[in-house]
Structure 1
Amino acid sequence: MAVGRREKNNQSRIAVAIGIGVLAGCIFAFAFPHGFFSANPPAQNRLRSKSNFEVGSSSCESTEKIDLLKSDIMRLSDKNVELKKQVRELKENIRLVEQGKDRARDQLTVSSKPTKAGPFGTVKGSRTNPPVIPDETVNPRLAKILSKVAVGKELIVCLANSNVRAMLEIWFTSIKKVDIPNYLVVALDDPILDFCESNDVPVYKRDPDEAIDTVGKTGGNHAVSALKFRILREFLQLGYSVLLSDVDIVYLQNPFHHLYRDSDVESMSDGHNNMTAYGFIDVFDEPAMGWSRYVHTTRIWVYNSGFFYIRPTVPSIELLDRIADRLAKEDAWDQAVFNEELFFPSHPGYDGLYAAKRTMDIYMFMNSKVLFKTVRKDARLRQLKPVIVHVNYHPDKYPRMKAVFDYYVLGMKDALDPFPDGSE
């Protein structure tokens, strides 16, 4: 009996112990759902940690943005300094252009950046001056016409009055035959204006100017030639390059396909061979000087002021101003003044013109002396087809122009034969 009672008591104790264990487990489970040593912190702790991380990250990003902004400010500040420097240089260049004295030298000094000379034989100076900024306020009506007529900001320009009507007809007929689109006649009187309009020739008549109109309507070749320098200035101010043409010229090819455009003035020559056209050394002999009797000189035959290509640059405009001013004050030939201003160097009491110039090929841009004295008598040269022929050496201009047109355009091989080399 005693043994049975003890076993009973032991079982009761075990049952109580199990019950207490189960109860304690339930209580701990409720109080610590994630356990004492859980790898995942409570949600509140996680939120707090996340908040702290975002604050730190935001702080780092703000610092980087501030550094970038500072860098941008420094870069823009440097750029602003450079722009201010360029503005100052531009203002200085404008001041020098307006100053009018020693223009070319001063512009070169201010606007050019010093450079190191290259190896022997590789150094070449620049001959091409920059074009002027176009100013349409100079002549809005002409600017509108040029915008329609010019090709690539360049065109042929010819001045004409009723005295040269017959030659003008050959002039524009040859241009049309070659299919040159960019040309313009500056009509100096109303009959020429009507004549051009009736023949579908691009024409422009200036606004009334009593002094100019008097010369234009009644003047001969030389008077009209002098007038062209004043009128030509407006074309250059508007930013156009002009191939200035006298009316006694026959066009056989498009001249714009044969220009170099590397100089302020590109002109045909009155020379009749390579020496006279492009320059040569001429020896002057003075026997009275004994040992030093021989003096070497440089010579070149003059440029023809009736056919030249001129770019819209400051030296070009200065050239026109100088010529127009001298012709207004002196009884001088415009071609002589044209060459003096282009070639005479600076010397005491005189500031020379700093303009770049180029001589055209005398067999492509041919004067009538070359044609009638040399080319027509040479079987090889007769095969050449010049760009233009300028009947400048002969007073019987119209019949010789017609003969040139017949020979080169219509293929009449004997058209040039009746004429003597020179004038009778």
Structure 2
Amino acid sequence: MPERARLQPLRKRRFAAEGLTLQKIFAAVLLGATLGLLASVVRVASQSRVKGAPEPSRSEAITAWQTSQQANLLSDEKHRRELAEQARRQILLESTRLKNDLQHAEAVADAAQHDREAAMAQASQAQNHLDQLSSTVQQLVQRNEQAAKEAQAAKLEAQEATKQAHTVTTRVKFGLSSRHDRHSIIHPSSERDASNPKLAGLLRKVAIDQEVLVAICTKEMGPPGGMLSLWGQAVQQAGIDNAIVAALDPDCLRVAEHLRMPAFQPSLQGGAFGATAKFQALSQRDSDVEAASDGFTNATAYGQVKQDEDNKSAPGNPTLKAEMMGLSPGLFFVRPTRASLDLVDLITSRLLARPSANPNKMFNEAILMPTSTQHISPGVHARVLDYMDFINSGTLFSRVKGNPLLETHPPIMIHLSCHADKLPRMHAIINHYINHDSNALSEFS
């Protein structure tokens, strides 16, 4: 730990100080022994002079000196032992003190490290809390911005709906006051042809009884060998001569021309795309509607009225509710009437106001919802096409496939509305109904 590393030099200095103290003590012991020996010699000599005794013989002097030396040595040994004992005790005390100081220093270092770790943990928690607050503030800002955008979009949609409702109401009033039937066919005229002479000339050339089969093609359908190519070949094999391609992309126009099919590229306003472009292009025909259903039984395709079992508010008088599957905006027939013009204008304006809206929902609301305080209906006459003649791909692959009786019934038209892998299923459908391959549909569910 960093604090322990900082204490290492302090410990080394204390151990060095302890060694120096021991050296001083041993030097003092040796010096004391030497001084004691000299003092003994001087004491013996002075005693001899004081008493005035006769000079001893040499042997006696030596013996006396040896005896004195032994006594002094014994005395010095005792003194040295006492000093050594004192030194040992002093060393023990000093060692104990140093050990206690070291333990205290380690405890202080551990406490400091613990405090540092606790401070770091608190700092980390504070940083995390700050990050969470920052993230929350950022989310709130984004939500406020999104709410402002949605409010602006809703405001624009309300303005557009009000404008369109006024337009539709004006048209309806005009039709009633002028005694024109809003559902009668509007025949071609030089005045109407002048708005788009090129398209008018193409329609006069292709239409049979003023009717054409229109395929509205986007960029994804246009590559050679794609869905537009398959559709065009199937139409030609079926002998349909009044088919026309509304190409929303130059590539689709080139493919249609390569197939020698009548085609045009509509001029769309406001950067329209996708479903918006489809309804805007159809506004050039002004028609009532016959649409295919997403249903798969009589009840789901054509609708039913039944008791609402979920309504618990009136147990003695059950309420009724109407149910039906939606109409398909991908396969429908339109007739040139004033009501149909109001319909496509209404759908186009709503999709332009809300590009992200669901075109299927917009299509069904405009046709099926009655006039109310929230909605003004364009008043079209709508009819549901026979769901087994104009069949959706969900019904085909879930009910018809594998049923010997239903498989022998040739539909008029098949709409691939329920599956994403459209191209391989188109190949299978053509092989089954045109090339008479009875196993062509078996690999799909």
Asked if these proteins are the same fold (TM beyond 0.5), I'd say yes
* CA shift in 2, pair 1:152/1:209, >3 Å: same
Q: Is the 8 A contact 2:280 2:344 kept in 1?
A: yes
Paired residue for 1:321? 345
Is residue 281 from structure 1 mapped to residue 338 from structure 2 by the alignment?
A: no
TM-score, with length taken from structure 1: 0.60
Indicate the structure with greater strand content: 1
Shift in Å, 1:170:
0.9
Separation of aligned partners in 2, 1:205 and 1:367: 27
Q: For 1:227, what is the secondary structure of its paired residue?
A: helix
Shift in Å, 1:111:
2.3
Shift in Å, 1:294:
3.6
Q: Is the 8 A contact 2:175 2:182 kept in 1?
A: no
Match 2:438 to one of 392, 396, 413: 413
Paired residue for 1:111? 179
Q: How does 1:8-87 map to 2 (within 5 A)?
A: none
Paired residue for 1:197? 257
Q: Is the 8 A contact 1:345 1:353 kept in 2?
A: no
Paired residue for 1:131? 186
Paired residue for 2:198? 141
Shift in Å, 1:210:
7.2
Shift in Å, 1:104:
3.8
Shift in Å, 1:360:
0.5
Is residue 153 from structure 1 mapped to residue 210 from structure 2 by the alignment?
A: yes
Q: Deviations over 1:84-111 (max 9, x none)?
A: xxxxxxxxxxxxxx97526446634652
Paired residue for 1:396? 421
* Paired residues, number: 274
Is residue 233 from structure 1 mapped to residue 290 from structure 2 by the alignment?
A: no
Shift in Å, 1:376:
1.5
Indicate the structure with greater helix content: 2
Letter in 1 for 2:186: P
Is residue 101 from structure 1 mapped to residue 151 from structure 2 by the alignment?
A: no
Is residue 168 from structure 1 mapped to residue 228 from structure 2 by the alignment?
A: yes
* CA shift in 2, pair 1:210/1:325, >3 Å: closer
Letter in 1 for 2:219: S
Letter in 2 for 1:384: H
Separation of aligned partners in 2, 1:408 and 1:276: 26
Q: For 2:428, what is the secondary structure of its paired residue?
A: helix
Q: For 1:138, what is the secondary structure of its paired residue?
A: coil
Separation of aligned partners in 1, 2:206 and 2:279: 21
- Which structure would you say has the larger Rg? 2
Q: Is the 8 A contact 1:287 1:293 kept in 2?
A: no
Is residue 300 from structure 1 mapped to residue 324 from structure 2 by the alignment?
A: yes
Q: Is the 8 A contact 1:132 1:313 kept in 2?
A: no
Separation of aligned partners in 1, 2:320 and 2:364: 21
List gaps (5 residues or longer) in structure 1.
1-97, 113-125, 216-223, 242-263
* CA shift in 2, pair 1:132/1:315, >3 Å: farther
Q: Is the 8 A contact 2:367 2:380 kept in 1?
A: yes
Q: For 1:211, what is the secondary structure of its paired residue?
A: coil
Separation of aligned partners in 1, 2:332 and 2:311: 41
Q: For 1:234, what is the secondary structure of its paired residue?
A: coil
Q: Is the 8 A contact 1:233 1:317 kept in 2?
A: yes
Is residue 177 from structure 1 mapped to residue 177 from structure 2 by the alignment?
A: no
* CA shift in 2, pair 1:204/1:103, >3 Å: closer
Q: Deviations over 1:220-241 (max 9, x none)?
A: xxxx2231111111233xxxx6
TM-score, with length taken from structure 2: 0.57
Letter in 1 for 2:169: K
Q: Is the 8 A contact 2:183 2:380 kept in 1?
A: no
Separation of aligned partners in 2, 1:110 and 1:200: 44
Match 1:386 to one of 395, 411, 428: 411
Separation of aligned partners in 2, 1:143 and 1:351: 31
Q: For 2:391, what is the secondary structure of its paired residue?
A: strand
Paired residue for 1:355? 380
Separation of aligned partners in 2, 1:106 and 1:198: 45
Q: Deviations over 1:231-289 (max 9, x none)?
A: 111233xxxx6xxxxxxxxxxxxxxxxxxxxxx21111111111111111233224643
Separation of aligned partners in 1, 2:205 and 2:176: 35
